[in-house]
Amino acid sequence: MTVLVGQSATRLTAPEAQMFRTLRGDLYQRNNAGEAWRGIRARAGLPFGVTLHTLRHTFASNLIASGCDVVTVQRALGHAQPSITLNTYAHLWPSAEDKTRAATADLMASIAALADSPRTVELKSQVSGGAYR
């Protein structure tokens, strides 16, 4: 399992650039990484369905939710092309409609806060005789 964010392709392939290694110092391959993960998962008491692939998707989803663009996520996952990333994760990026709704909601909230502030200041009651009926 290799996790390096923002590295060039040549640096990713260099053995010394690999972040995770076996106990013997070898690079992980698909089979031994899976074997190591299954042991970790069992010791941690995680459900069987939590796989390395699940963690990879969670990593990508969190990058997208944090506002990372397609190319950033593509590079972090090691995809050859942004289209590979988009084919899998396009539904997670906010649509133009989502952005429009969010921007409008933010604008309306700021206007409402400004308009409401003079009316909510504690003032001396202008009506005598108690509560209005």
37 found inside a domain: yes
CA separation (Å) from 123 to 13, 26, 58, 126, 130?
70, 74, 52, 8, 15
51 found inside a domain: yes
pLDDT 10s digits, 43-84: 999 999 999 999 999 999 999 999 999 999 999 999 999 999
21 found inside a domain: yes
Q: Which residue has the tokens 């409401």?
A: 116
Q: At residue 122, does pLDDT exceed 70? A: no
Tally of structural domains, the chain: 1
CA distance 115 to 121: 12
Q: What is the pTM of this model?
A: 0.60
Per-residue model confidence (pLDDT) at position 65: 92
130 found inside a domain: no
